[in-house]
């Protein structure tokens, strides 16, 4: 079976009140359209055809890795049937066509697979939903034997038909051979003057083609996005799905309503996550990792037994086993921490390696540096890595001791076992097992008195 997935993504989304095309808004940190493309990929579709219109160039540019999808322009928005007509010449004979929507991002592959299977058996298959309030949706009209007869759009529905709670999601699957004939026969004799894809249902019934309607178990799964309120509701629904999966996988969430996963999170055993934690991109947490409140972790790997305390930011970092981070720590891209490292409060690390059991505990900036094992970096230490034009590297070898309030002016090397006196500005290499100090001699001026505010000078 050849599966061609057609994704309708030409709408402007006026009710979003945004300069962005609607499908470029995000749920869970991912573009709406990319959610749908990923679903098509999980269905092993041989073709992914995206029908674009408003803001088309922006849409194509935003989908940086389309994964082999083809782009088809719908220059005029004349309805869903007209949109599908644009892609039919690209679909090979014998294919099954599955129609999805770029603003309906969270439908699951397992929900769609029965439609594909039914279409492969020669039927027209529809995905429907039962809504408490069906306002705005096309209704599924059935006969006395509960067979689907046709779909009526709300603007064309009678008062009696508007009482029907089973609605059309717009998602359908059918063989391309049948779809070609039905699309050619569509007309726009309706309240909106558009070519409705939904009209193919009545055509299938007239031809004696079986119509299978599959009702989605959770209507929120097929919720579309037309305004910011629906976008926010969909975000909460998506996050509930993520946190439910984490809980069922053995993760402790101290408040599931206050954890956001905006990417892919992989966790080991006995992980504990506190409130207001955000994961972005690809994050991997080892066994027994504990994440404190108000923390953001983006594209990072944390080894077993790590602890991240409150208000920390970790991005594009590789962290070893048993590392202690925070509170109020910032690990910027390129940070690599070996096993047993301690990075404490108000410490910033950028593009640096910190060796096994080293300690950088307080009020320190480490950038473009390589720090050995068992090094102690005192409070207030700064690696002066930027000269205004170029970045330079600081190297601190094993078991060195850096006194508080030290400025290491790169490029510079502190040798193995060396000590730097507190308050020093080190601009030259310090050999192994030696003391480097640039502290000025202390002077004491007796009888000196601070100026007093308002005191007049004689």
DSSP per-residue letters across 142-195: E-TT--EEEEE-GGG--TTGGG--EEEEEEEEEEHHHHHHHHHH----STT---
Q: How many CB atoms lie within 10 A of CB 163?
A: 10
Say if strands 335-337 and 313-315 run parallel, antiparallel, or are unpaired: unpaired
Find where tokens 């193919």 sit: 200
Are the C-beta atoms of residues 349 and 366 closer than 8 Å to each other? yes
Rounded (5°) CA angle 267-279-319: 60
According to DSSP, residue 60 is labeled H
Tell how far CA 76 is from the center of its chain.
Answer: 32
Are the C-beta atoms of residues 168 and 152 closer than 8 Å to each other? no
Query: Is 324 tagged catalytic?
Result: no
According to DSSP, residue 431 is labeled -
Question: Which one of 2, 294, 362, 392 is the catalytic residue?
Answer: 362
Are the C-beta atoms of residues 53 and 73 closer than 8 Å to each other? yes
Region for 208 from its dihedrals, namely left if φ exceeds 0, alpha if ψ lies in -120 to 50, beta otherwise: left
According to DSSP, residue 441 is labeled P
Give me the phi and psi of 382, to 5 degrees please.
-130, 130
Residue 134 structure tokens: 């069906």
Separation between Cα atoms, residue 449 and residue 135, nearest integer Å? 81
Burial class (CB in 10 A: 0-12, 13-18, 19+), 57: exposed
Are the C-beta atoms of residues 72 and 86 closer than 8 Å to each other? yes
Alpha carbon dihedral 250, 287, 108, 130, in 10-degree steps, equals 30
Are the C-beta atoms of residues 198 and 168 closer than 8 Å to each other? yes
Are the C-beta atoms of residues 262 and 242 closer than 8 Å to each other? no
Q: How many CB atoms lie within 10 A of CB 382?
A: 18
Find where tokens 């402790």 sit: 252
Report, as residue numbers or ranges, the catalytic residues.
362
């Amino acid at each position: 079976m050849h599966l061609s997935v057609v994704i309708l993504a030409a709408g402007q989304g006026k009710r979003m009140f945004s300069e962005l095309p609607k499908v470029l808004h995000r749920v869970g940190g991912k573009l709406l359209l990319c959610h749908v493309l990923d679903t098509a990929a999980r269905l092993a579709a041989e073709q992914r055809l995206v029908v674009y219109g408003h803001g088309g160039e922006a849409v194509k540019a935003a989908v940086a890795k389309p994964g082999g999808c083809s782009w088809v322009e719908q220059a005029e928005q004349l309805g869903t049937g007209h949109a599908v007509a644009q892609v039919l010449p690209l679909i090979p004979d014998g294919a099954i066509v599955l129609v999805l929507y770029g603003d309906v991002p969270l439908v699951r592959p397992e929900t769609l697979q029965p439609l594909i299977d039914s279409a492969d058996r020669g039927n027209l298959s529809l995905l429907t939903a039962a809504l408490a309030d069906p306002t705005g949706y096309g209704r599924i009209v059935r006969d006395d034997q509960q067979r689907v007869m046709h779909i009526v759009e709300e603007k064309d529905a009678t008062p009696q038909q508007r009482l029907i709670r089973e609605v059309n999601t717009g998602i359908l699957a059918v063989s391309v051979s049948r779809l070609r004939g039905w699309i050619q026969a569509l007309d726009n004799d309706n309240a909106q003057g558009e070519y409705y894809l939904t009209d193919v249902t009545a055509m299938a019934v007239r031809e004696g083609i079986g119509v299978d309607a599959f009702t989605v178990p959770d209507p929120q799964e097929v919720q579309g996005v037309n305004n910011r309120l629906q976008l926010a509701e969909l975000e909460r629904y998506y996050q509930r799905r993520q946190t439910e999966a984490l809980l069922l996988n053995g993760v402790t969430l101290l408040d599931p309503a206050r954890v956001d996963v905006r990417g892919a999170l992989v966790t080991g055993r006995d992980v504990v996550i506190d409130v207001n934690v955000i994961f972005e991109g690809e994050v991997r947490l080892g066994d027994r990792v504990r994440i404190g409140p108000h923390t953001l972790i983006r594209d990072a790997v944390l080894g077993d037994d790590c602890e991240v305390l409150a208000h920390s930011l970790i991005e594009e970092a590789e962290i070893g086993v048993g590392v202690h981070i925070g509170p109020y720590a910032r690990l910027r891209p390129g940070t690599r921490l070996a096993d047993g490292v301690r990075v404490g409060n108000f410490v910033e690390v950028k593009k640096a390696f910190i060796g096994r059991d080293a300690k950088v505990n307080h009020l320190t900036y480490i950038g473009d540096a390589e720090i050995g094992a068992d090094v102690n970096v005192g409070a207030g230490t700064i690696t002066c890595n930027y000269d205004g034009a170029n970045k330079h590297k600081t190297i601190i070898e094993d078991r060195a001791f850096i006194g508080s309030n030290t400025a290491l002016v790169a490029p510079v090397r502190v040798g193995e076992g060396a000590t730097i006196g507190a308050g020093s500005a080190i601009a030259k290499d310090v050999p192994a097992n030696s003391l480097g100090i640039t502290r000025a001699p202390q002077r004491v001026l007796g009888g000196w008195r601070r100026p007093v505010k308002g005191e007049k000078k004689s």
